[in-house]
Amino acid sequence: MSPGPVAAVLAVVIRDGQALLVQRANPPDAGLWGFPGGKIEFGETLLSAAERELREETGVRAEATHAFNALDVLAQGADEMLEHHYVLIAVECRWLAGEPSAADDALDARWVDLDRIEDLPLSRDVARVARQAAALYHSHSR
């Protein structure tokens, strides 16, 4: 029997035209930039998982408000067999306090201008999800 997909959250924080990103230390996507996040623990809600992962990876506190997108990440090994299947659930988070400092499994953490986000080596779909979150942020702050 094959293992099932692994559910994980992405904590998407937009503030003042910037997205909070981390540089991943571990595979998959080691060295690439993406949203703070990780696996959902047994019995943990999506919103709680996003808040916890954000705090653990960056020290930033935020209020997770709702899930707004989901992405499949299918990783194949050298033999082209499927090794990992993650379902990443993007959760909009409203910044409360703190400035990013890389911790846990992040090499670096920083605010990145949305109009310069593609200057960094990004994990797949990061720029698209950041733009989607920025549009949601603007629609909620009116």
Helix/strand/coil percent split, the chain, to 5: 25, 45, 30
**6-140, CATH topology level:** Nucleoside Triphosphate Pyrophosphohydrolase (3.90.79)
**35-45: burial string, b at 16+ Cβ within 10 Å, e else:** bbbbebeeeee
Interior angle at CA 12, CA 8 and CA 16, nearest 5: 170
Please give the mean pLDDT across all residues of the chain. Answer: 92
In this model, does residue 41 exceed pLDDT 90? yes
In this model, does residue 28 exceed pLDDT 80? no
**What predicted TM-score, i.e. pTM, was given to this entire model?**
0.92
What is the distance between the alpha carbons of residues 22 and 70, in angstroms, rounded to a whole number? 19
Q: Which residue has the tokens 């809600």?
A: 45
Instruction: Give the mean pLDDT of 70-88.
Output: 88
pLDDT at 29: 85
What is the distance between the alpha carbons of residues 114 and 92, in angstroms, rounded to a whole number? 15
R_g of the chain, CA atoms, integer Å: 15
Report domain extents, the chain.
6-140
Question: Each residue of 91-117: pLDDT tens digit?
Answer: 999 999 999 999 978 999 999 999 999
User: How many other C-beta atoms lie within 10 A of the C-beta of residue 56?
Assistant: 15
Q: In percent, how much of the chain has pLDDT > 90?
A: 76
pLDDT at 141: 62
